[in-house]
Amino acid sequence: MFLIHLTCTACGLKHDWAQLQNLCSACQKPLFATYDLSEVGRVLTRASFKTRREKSLWRYRELLPLPSVTEPLSLGEGGTPLLRADRFAAKIGIENLWVKDESLNPTQSFKARGMSVAVSTAKHLGARKLAVPSAGNAGGALAAYAARAGLEAHIFMPRDTPRANIIECRELGAHVVLIDGLITDCGAEITKRKTVEGWFDMSTLKEPYRVEGKKTLGYELAEQLNWQLPDVILYPTGGGTGLIGMWKAFDEMETLGWLATKRPRMFSVQASGCAPIVRAFENGESTAAEFPDAHTIASGLRVPKAIGDFIMLKILRESKGGAVAVDDEEMIRVTREVGSSEGLFVAPEGAACFAALKSLLATKIIAPEERVVIFNTGSGIKYLECYREG
């Protein structure tokens, strides 16, 4: 294994990876895994991926936690297709558009990536009971990997989470608690009870390894595009782990000398009814205030306050990208446009990115010749209550 320690994203303090860790012990900010990349570079090159390796995200094993003798918990996560979206692209007047279709993951969303790595590592380090606040998809993913690990899963969800997510968690054997409030209220409930209950807190960015799973989005994208990253990435942002993970992957790949091109401009896409990052970006702030009265059908984007806000805002600015908010009605309308032109029933969060692309083209922030990748983070099939039946 090439993981050497955990490093605080804010104050730089190092922590022991071999102990279960949540936030930095000094400043309560997220911890990142640090690898010995010069050693990785000695055993792994871009050519390594041309030989037979498994399709799942564990193909990047040298860049993930977990000792090499420990078997990861896998349901076949990752290895999702990068599809061209030519018919939709032609309609909106852009030359090169791809969709990374994350709905093909176990439990139908990209949350499987983070949970495969985080549950594997938590189990290895001795956790027995895992707890998470979830907008829906993270809960389903935790329930699945915890079941496979033989660990308890305690999932706290807002009462208005899509029904499919709630049912899925229960059928996967998790303990589900519905809360009258938002995901932040669910997180507060876990914080209050976790010591007494003996739960390990699996909240996004409050433990160090979900972001490691999510970073494989960046490695896969680079590999699928022959190490030539796109000009623009549009990403639906709630807690921000996907965006932050990809940027970490780009950092690591740059150190490894694997990148043939400059980095993409990163755009965070949120819902108009819950857009803390968009607001903070527009106001030139380095952290994001809690968004009042958060509401949107895109439950994964209903995150009024994110602990990784300062990391996201830094990435958006450093990459010369931006942040865009989309109305719920527009997400629903665009879902059918994408569905009928590309054959993909995208989650509202994914649809938000297609809608954002249209508006960024109209305002000339994105040019028609730029190479654009959209992440469809989940499947529309989990959100049936959002659609008309006619």
Ligand X SMILES: Cc1ncc(COP(=O)(O)O)c(C=O)c1O
Q: How far is the CB of 238 from ligand X (least distance, A)?
A: 3
The answer to the question of residue 11 lying near Zn ion (CB under 5 A) is yes
210 binds, among Zn ion, ligand X, none (CB under 5 to 8 A by kind): none
Of 18-26, 39-47, 49-57, 121-129, the segment contacting Zn ion by CB under 5 A is 18-26
Query: Contacts by 254-260 with C-beta closer than 8 Å and gap 24+?
Result: 255/37, 256/37, 256/40, 256/41, 256/44, 257/41, 258/46, 258/222, 258/227, 259/222, 259/227, 259/229, 260/226, 260/227, 260/228
Please give the residue ranges that form the binding site for ligand X (CB under 6 A): 109, 111, 135-138, 204, 236-242, 300, 347, 349, 377-378
Helix 163-171 / helix 137-149 crossing angle, nearest 10 deg: 10
- Cβ proximity to ligand X: between 335 and 377 the closer is 377
Q: How far is the CB of 377 from ligand X (least distance, A)?
A: 3
- Cβ proximity to Zn ion: between 31 and 63 the closer is 31
- Cβ proximity to ligand X: between 184 and 237 the closer is 237
Q: How far is the CB of 300 from ligand X (least distance, A)?
A: 2
In this structure, what token pair is assigned to residue 339?
A: 């569905």
- Cβ proximity to ligand X: between 158 and 236 the closer is 236
Task: Please give the order of strands across the beta sheet that includes 14-15.
Answer: 14-15, 3-8, 31-35
Number of residues lying near Zn ion (CB under 5 A): 8
Q: What is the DSSP letter of 298?
A: -
Residue 25, judged by CB atoms within 10 A of its CB (0-12, 13-18, 19+), counts as exposed
11 binds, among ligand X, Zn ion, none (CB under 5 to 8 A by kind): Zn ion
Please report where in the chains the tokens 């176990």 appear, as a residue: 106
Site track 21-60 with Zn ion (rule: CB under 5 A), x = hit: ---x-xx-x-------------------------------
Of 16-24, 153-161, 199-207, 358-366, the segment contacting Zn ion by CB under 5 A is 16-24
Q: What is the DSSP letter of 364?
A: T
DSSP secondary structure letters along 169-203:
HHHTT-EEEEESS-HHHHHHHHHHHHHHHT-EE--
- Cβ proximity to Zn ion: between 19 and 68 the closer is 19
Residue 389, judged by CB atoms within 10 A of its CB (0-12, 13-18, 19+), counts as exposed
237 binds, among Zn ion, ligand X, none (CB under 5 to 8 A by kind): ligand X
User: Which residues of the shown chain bind Zn ion in the complex (CB under 5 A)?
Assistant: 8, 10-11, 13, 24, 26-27, 29
